[in-house]
A and B are shown apart, each in its own frame.
Chain A
Amino acid sequence: MARMELSSLAKRYGQVEVLREIDLTIEDGEFVVLVGPSGCGKSTLLRMIAGLEPISGGELRIDGRRVNETAPRDRDIAMVFQSYALYPHMDVARNMGFSLEIRGKPETERRPRVAAAASTLSLEPLLARLPKALSGGQRQRVAMGRAIVRQPRAFLFDEPLSNLDAALRVDMRLEIARLHKRLAATMIYVTHDQVEAMTLADRIVVLNGGDVQQVGSPLDLYDRPANRFVAQFIGSPTMNILPVTLDDRGLPRLANGAAVPLEGLAPEGVAGRIAEIGLRPEHLVPGAAEGALVSGTADLVEHLGSDTNVYVRTEDYGTLVLRVHGHHPVRSGDALHLHARPGAVHAFDRDGLALPRRSR
């Protein structure tokens, strides 16, 4: 299998820097998800690893060997495209066996390997069909089958689920997770959907504007975002950000004068640097007026069944979101006084960098 090392990897189109100095090591058998808003360079990075996009600077090594100039066909990696990129003039079996065919493997070797992959993905009844006679989900499976058949060193996925409807997306997500468990192969997966990222990844790489914002396990990113961007990108609904002011003793206070509960934060980091605090919707609780961090009026109430999202209009901070349990009696128009769960406050300095949190 494959260990990948990206050192100072960069991509430029003329003067435009698309990716700056990416340093990342992907361990053998690891499932790494590249996630970020559109235009952050995540697909470009994946395509550079695949060899479809020339590398402008830095170095890419697979299992210790530099592959910057190696053609895609010699990198021994498989890729699943967003569009699936099935060959329209070949039936499913030939699509899946094409890479073996190109490498001159005989029919006797191709057939059992295609059959094995087809049975893994329940594609047997479809082997003789052309891609145009398949549904979206079936095409997606064929694209995965085509990758599996090769038994490559690593799998690359470029937003493979974004063309599927919601229910199928969940199914295929599970399928990919199972596949990774079974094959224990290195997988690199690009998506803009943070749910996919959180559910699939061993480690998530958050990209924005051509820079790596943070690398870490899903819970790391949720619990200890490195900066405001990651904090707001991971988690849904997004984290509420509230600017704070420092009183004459240097302690952060909210607009109504309430002191910020700092128990989750490492005390040495906070002093003098804190500019904003962040509170996830699930970490806000309605309560008594006394001691509330912020008060406002419930504006919209979204019932999701298991949870309820409440959008609260406040005088000082615009609209905040909080999440309460599914049958909470709150109604639109109710006055709400919000408190933070203990230890749940995130804090950021003026540049949006997260202040250190107490280790648990």
Chain B
Amino acid sequence: MKIAITPDQLIFTEGTRLFPSETSFGNFAKVITQTDFLAYFGNSLIVSLGTAGVTTLIAAGAGYAFSRFDFAGKRVLVGIMLVTQMFPLLMVIAPIYKMVAALGMLNSLTSLIVVYTAFNIPFATFLMQSFFDGIPRDLEEAAMIDGCTRFQALRRIIVPLTLPGLGATLGFVFTAAWSELLFALMLINSNDAMTFPVGLLTFVSKFSVDWGQMMAAGVLALVPSCLFFIFIQRYLVQGLTSGAVKG
């Protein structure tokens, strides 16, 4: 099984080396110059960064409230968020398609960002909550006694301390949005607005599969999520597990 978990990089480079006529470098050049993958890459980057940014912001707010306030309806809300983690997302794919179509927002990256954001909020909220829970309340109280308003305490004490958590959430949501395929397939069909996964899949079915180019494109797709992965790995373990225990 170890072999199956060996890095993809190895598989990819081996894959491209199976074509003696071309170097892997040539495939990269081809992919970038002769296909629309650069545009797909850009679209995916916009969608993923947008989703990650908006989701993290919203989830940080919700996670903070769940962590620091005791309020009417809290248990119900936590329950709703948990349930959204369990029901089949495919269940809403048809209604969402019709809603987005009715708004005339098909083929728009904005609609993808909105949909992805909503899907990622529950988990991101639990993640952020667990990071906030890790910051002792005493610190905020000390700050308030030291003369801070609640908002000042948030900005000067809590936010700096939760930066790793914000980073981890950002990375996690980015990766999720970067990989999403089915909803993008449904909501996007114009070539201009395609995200990377959709583009890649269309590329596969449209042409007889050029494995070399496809894998070169694949390596490109791997780059951002790997970068994020390296960045967040440490925090993710801690955040995920504390979230999981609570769930």
Per the 8 Å Cβ criterion, residues 146-178 of B in contact with A are 146-149, 152, 156-157, 160-161
Q: How far is the CB of A83 from chain B (nearest CB, A)?
A: 5
Pair B139/A102 contact, Cβ less than 8 Å: no
Main secondary structure of the interface of A (DSSP, over half): loop
B contact residues vs A (CB 8 Å cutoff): 136, 138-139, 141-149, 152, 156-157, 160-161
The residue on A at minimum CB distance from B148 is A102
| Interface 9-residue window, one of A72-80, A184-192, A205-213 | A72-80
Is B138 in contact with A146, judged by CB distance below 8 angstroms? no
The size class of the interface chain A forms with chain B is 20 to 34
User: A87 on the interface (CB 8 Å rule)?
Assistant: yes
A73-B136 contact given A87-B157, A89-B160, A89-B161, CB 8 Å threshold:
no
| A85, B138: Cβ atoms closer than 8 Å | yes
Query: How many residue pairs bridge A and B at CB < 8 Å?
Result: 57
Chain B residues within an 8 Å CB radius of A71: 144, 149
A65-98 interface code vs B (CB 8 A; 1 in, 0 out): 0000001110001110111010111000000001
Chain A: CB-nearest residue to B141: A52
Contact A52 B145 (CB under 8 A): yes
Q: Which residues of chain A are within 8 angstroms of B145 by Cβ–Cβ distance?
A: 50-52, 72-73, 77-79
List of A residues within 8 angstroms of B138 by Cβ: 81-83, 85
Closest to A98 in B: B146
Once the chains bind, are B161 and A88 in contact (CB under 8 Å)? yes
User: How distant is the Cα of A88 from the Cα of B161 in the complex, in angstroms?
Assistant: 8
- Nearest CB on B from A203, distance (A): 24
CB distance from B224 to the nearest CB of A (A): 29
Contact B144 A87 (CB under 8 A): no
Known A82-B138, A98-B146, A99-B147; further 16 A-B contacts with Cβ < 8 A: A50-B145, A72-B144, A73-B147, A73-B148, A79-B145, A81-B138, A81-B141, A85-B142, A87-B143, A87-B157, A88-B139, A98-B143, A102-B143, A102-B146, A102-B148, A102-B156
Cβ of A103 < 8 Å from any Cβ of B? yes
A-B contacts, 14 of them at CB < 8 A, read A50-B145, A51-B145, A71-B144, A73-B146, A73-B149, A77-B145, A79-B141, A79-B145, A85-B138, A87-B142, A98-B146, A99-B147, A146-B142, A150-B146
